[in-house]
Structure 1
Amino acid sequence: MNITTSATRHSYLLIFLVSMCCNPWQSAVRADTPAAQTGSNQVLSSPTYAIRAIQDAHSNNTPVVVRQGELDALINTDGGGACPISAALIAMQTLRSMTGQPLHPKPHQYALQLFQTHPELKEGRITNDRFVNLFDWMADQIPGYKVQVDFVSARNSIHANTGPYWSDSEGPDLTIKGGELTILAYTVTTNGGNVLGRHFVLLKDLGDTQIRVLNPGKPMKDYQFTVEKRDSPAIKYKRVYFESPGQMSSNPLVLELNTVFKVRLFPSEMVPPSTPSLTVNQVKTAIDELAEQLRSEGKLTSPREWRRRGATFGLPGLDLPASVGGSGWSAEQMLEIFRHAGRYNLNLRDVVGGAHGRPAVKMDSPVAEVALKQLVAGNAYFAVAITEENAGTDTKSMQSRAVKDGDGFRLTGSKLWNARLRQATHVVLYTSSADGSSNDRTAFLLPIDHPGLEIVDRYAHGLTGNSFGGLKFDNMYVGPEHLIGDDGSGGELFEEHFLYWRLMQAAAAIGCGERALEIMAERIRQRHVFGGPIGRFTHLQQPIGKNLTRLRMALALAREAARFYDRGDFDAAEPLVNGIKAEGVEIALEACDEAMRAHGALGYSRDVDLGDRVRDLMGLRIADGTTDVMRMTVVREKYGFDLWEMSVRSFSGGKTNARGE
């Protein structure tokens, strides 16, 4: 903060700063790991994600953030603090993260160089123009991009006698966008009217009634402010104030917004960006932008629209190998994208990556080559048909069969309780194997309009972004080019694919629950009854704390499972994945149910989407492995296969009879 203080400038701060510059670690630090090439890199991530990533990356071993307290000793005694300079240095790292570039590995050394090159910084009391100049001096630290800084101020600001000023009626623009960082400067005044100075913070998140900011004084902690516009006597414009929720001080400081700086990035025509690949945060930002477009068009849950338009930033091919035009993302990276998609709507679990088209990678035929090319381009969408009326988890009871017919096959049977068939262009169809073994399964990739394939419609309560129904086929001929893998290898294909798929569905459920808790927190903050907000009834806060913690535990377990999967240790991943498919969905369901009930009748209406979240999660607790069966597999892996056998065998006269073998 640019506040005059009589406190002694401690020389050990400067010694500490120099020691940070001499840190021996040399490698560049990434706040957000990039993946393989996903197309154009003009997608710039949101500052919300970039700031969060920087906070996560900072540690004593990798000090990527320069705190205000580490620079205060460099400011003249009467110059206030180093708050704006620290804010600008953290902003530099934020901008690098937004572009997908590594963080500056030695920001403390760079800070010293900045003071040496521009000794006027030691004077403190930075004006608006000098703050803009500071970004000009640092522009070469964002290679491949031009940095543009604009600002608007309050009409009563002593730092902008001639403007520009924000709208008297609307106030300042605090919206958050990809490629644009907002820095807020507010005046700090005592209740007695003594102006102490200005403080600079980075806008991290914008809610309905509150903002979250990064404070350079304590950058690892999130600060929240309620934003209020107040009328003032004898003037025709509103003044904007920040209040700290829950502030207990009997003599609080008055925080009035003074200036809003917008720092924008534009690709340089002279120097190409140094990072050719998109990062997780950049893809999340692209999802945010596309979600708003599709919501405004009434197409938020349309899988075909998502895939077609998401192909512009590589969404359908994220987890497909580069050999088929994909990006080769890891399960650990994909987990974060599925989680983010689930925040918007659980139907978006179907719009990320190759989904049920992933098994086609194992094919070596023109059919697969064309289908995968269409999938990556956003023009194909794959369904999967495994379950039947009397065969769900017990796949050995599957009645659909394949028989050899020359080089090809004849398929006869029916499928039921399958999603996506009306929207799909292709379907992965499972039958019993043609080799005669009752234990083996075979998988085929077919166009949805394959001759002899008939769609049967049923209707589900939730997950209505896709159709629900089944298939019928009788003596349908399928050529050998449609076979996935070998005849009889469908069981292994199923296990490998659904291990991945269940993990991603759990991630989408976690994101769905996290967003519901955010909506609930805002509701109990805003809803007033009996003269006050309902948030004062602490029993409404308890479910938020409980379920947020449980969702965080579920996320930690999911990330551990993803790391096992990426290492190819499927045996270690399986019990974790099955457990998280069960518990992640159940925890998210409870979170959404609590949020819905906190809204009363509104929560049960279509004015909010909480009822949809509950309904969709109830579908997901059944789809892709029911909660009960997933829990049984966890018991089997930990305590022995005999307990599993007890659950899947029937008992008669004290003897067990194996079924489906």
Structure 2
Amino acid sequence: MDFSYSEKTLTWMKRLKEFMEEVVYPGEKIYAEQLAAAENRFSIPPIMETMKQQAKSAGLWNLFMPDEEYGAGLTNLEYAPLCEMMGRSEIAPEVFNCNAPDTGNMEVLARYGSPEQKEKWLKPLLAGEIRSCFAMTEPEVASSDATNISASIVRDGNHYIINAHKWWSSGAGDPRCKVAILMGKTNPDATRYEQQSMILIPFDTEGVRVERMLPVFGYDDAPHGHAEVTYHNVRVPADHIIWGEGKGFAIAQGRLGPGRIHHCMRLIGAAERALELMCERAKQRVAFGKPLAQQGVIQSWIADSRMEIEQARWLVLNAAYKMDTVGNKAAQKEIAMIKVVAPNVALKVIDRAIQVHGGAGVSDDFPLAKMWSNARTLRLADGPDEVHRRAVARLELQD
């Protein structure tokens, strides 16, 4: 077990770091200004498409895809430090076409999609020409138990009819969102884990309605957004089902493993940036006759943050190593562990950085408040802490 970065990984890291410094970090302010000036917040700042074309030209595109046919062909262990680097900026993942939920949806289509589904949806997603959303969570049920999902997918000749009420469909607010992957029940009488299926729904299909955008701690996350969406007698061709009826849970397990660890990789990057900002602020500001950096409590926060980030990073790398060597299913304990640890570590580090910044920390002058809201959300997204702790405990007891 060797987590040292290979020459291949170091080369990718150097290229990505240079691009972040030359393009992405300077682009953050322009992106925010263009979004603020737009008449409709759910429109795409022109700088984003410019940066995407630059990233594509630089060969920094679809780095998350382990299959060389579709992406860079990197293992999870090789991709980890790159994804971490992207996590330092809210806009960076999209710049490199490595943003959720598109990454998970692309992996689903690459692994389980038919040739026709790949041609129609995977190709434009890989090219960054369209966006997508993932429709799983429902407001009427405790969706942390996916067997509660009650959306109806009923066969009607050569079509399926879908009736569903979904929310927290991230990306549904984006005007480029052209397709949803929806999870629902095709056979309520089947065995517990064969009731669910996943189906592709073109977002302009009659009966699909975005009811509202859901704010996160007051942030609308435009132009990405998180939507409440209803599907009323939505009719799609039968060939829009992914893999086959009853395969929803199997697809979800294949999709959520990489998605969860990608979130954790990005959280390590967010925590690193927060720690850097904390150190810079502590050295610049003077209180009670000396720089904050010389105050004992601040030094303790800095030390604790460094130790916690390193622990979380090694746990991420261990999970990535296990996924690469024994597969996602066999690595489910390691994935569950880091899915609990990474958001909580990021929250603690970001919170300390906010405290060191004082009033500026909770403003939009620094990225810390937004970073905190994102990290807090990830204690719920892709399964709450409690579900992952339960999984770890059950697997430990089995062992």
TM-score bracket relative to the smaller structure: 0.7 to 0.9
Q: Which amino acid aligns with 1:447?
A: P
- Give the counterpart of 1:459 among 215, 233, 236: 215
Distance 1:534 1:626 in 2: 36
Shift of 1:561: 0.8
Q: Contact 1:342–1:507 at 8 Å: present in 2 too?
A: yes
Q: Contact 1:331–1:566 at 8 Å: present in 2 too?
A: yes
Q: Provide closer, same or farther for how the CA distance between residues 447 and 317 of structure 1 changes in structure 2, counting only shifts above 3 A.
A: farther
- Give the counterpart of 2:204 among 449, 456, 461: 449
Identity of aligned residues (%): 23
Aligned twin of 1:33: 8
Q: Contact 1:319–1:327 at 8 Å: present in 2 too?
A: yes
Matched, 1:494 2:252: yes
Over residues 323-362 of structure 1, what are the superposed CA-to-partner deviations in whole Å (9 max), with x where a residue is unaligned?
Answer: 75422222112222221111123x6556516343210112
Q: Which amino acid aligns with 2:28?
A: R
Matched, 1:431 2:200: no
Which structure 2 segments of 5+ residues have no match? 36-43
Aligned twin of 1:539: 297
Shift of 1:496: 1.4
Residues 90-129 of structure 1: pairs in structure 2 closer than 5 A: 100=11
Aligned twin of 1:356: 105
Aligned twin of 1:379: 129
Aligned twin of 1:188: none
Shift of 1:623: 1.3
Distance 1:463 1:560 in 2: 34
- Give the counterpart of 2:14 among 281, 295, 298: 281
SS at match of 1:484: coil
Q: Which amino acid aligns with 1:573?
A: A
Aligned twin of 1:64: none
Shift of 1:292: 3.2
Aligned twin of 1:319: 64
SS at match of 1:298: helix
What is the root-mean-square deviation of aligned Cα atoms in Å? 2.6
Matched, 1:418 2:175: no
Distance 1:311 1:349 in 2: 13
SS at match of 1:507: helix
Distance 1:549 1:290 in 2: 30
Shift of 1:431: 0.8
Aligned twin of 1:470: 228
TM-score, normalization by structure 1: 0.52
- Give the counterpart of 1:396 among 132, 135, 147: 147
Distance 1:572 1:556 in 2: 18
Q: Provide closer, same or farther for how the CA distance between residues 291 and 524 of structure 1 changes in structure 2, counting only shifts above 3 A.
A: same
Aligned twin of 1:592: 350
SS at match of 1:541: helix
Aligned twin of 1:552: 310
Distance 1:433 1:315 in 2: 40
Over residues 364-406 of structure 1, what are the superposed CA-to-partner deviations in whole Å (9 max), with x where a residue is unaligned?
Answer: 1323213221122211222111000114111111110111112
Distance 2:318 2:68 in 1: 27
Distance 1:392 1:369 in 2: 31
Q: Contact 2:109–2:117 at 8 Å: present in 1 too?
A: no
Aligned twin of 2:30: 297
Distance 1:323 1:538 in 2: 50
Greater relative contact order, per chain length (Cα 8 Å cut-off, separation 6+): 2
Aligned twin of 2:237: 479
Q: Provide closer, same or farther for how the CA distance between residues 438 and 517 of structure 1 changes in structure 2, counting only shifts above 3 A.
A: same
Aligned twin of 1:572: 330
SS at match of 2:331: helix
Matched, 1:408 2:159: yes
SS at match of 2:124: helix
Shift of 1:490: 0.9
Q: Provide closer, same or farther for how the CA distance between residues 324 and 415 of structure 1 changes in structure 2, counting only shifts above 3 A.
A: farther
Matched, 1:613 2:358: no
Q: Contact 1:317–1:375 at 8 Å: present in 2 too?
A: no
Shift of 1:475: 2.1
Q: Contact 1:315–1:352 at 8 Å: present in 2 too?
A: no
Q: Which amino acid aligns with 1:356?
A: N
Shift of 1:322: 5.1
Q: Contact 1:413–1:472 at 8 Å: present in 2 too?
A: yes
Aligned twin of 1:11: none
Aligned twin of 2:40: none
Distance 2:164 2:237 in 1: 17
Shift of 1:460: 2.2
Moved over 4 A (4+): 299-304, 306-309, 321-324, 347-351
Distance 1:455 1:463 in 2: 15
Q: Contact 1:463–1:616 at 8 Å: present in 2 too?
A: no
Over residues 430-453 of structure 1, what are the superposed CA-to-partner deviations in whole Å (9 max), with x where a residue is unaligned?
Answer: 111247426221111232222321
Distance 2:320 2:387 in 1: 21
Q: Provide closer, same or farther for how the CA distance between residues 370 and 299 of structure 1 changes in structure 2, counting only shifts above 3 A.
A: farther
Distance 1:313 1:463 in 2: 31
Higher strand share: 1
Distance 1:30 1:344 in 2: 22
SS at match of 2:65: coil
Distance 1:385 1:414 in 2: 9
Q: Contact 2:293–2:299 at 8 Å: present in 1 too?
A: yes
Shift of 1:307: 5.0
Distance 1:478 1:360 in 2: 17
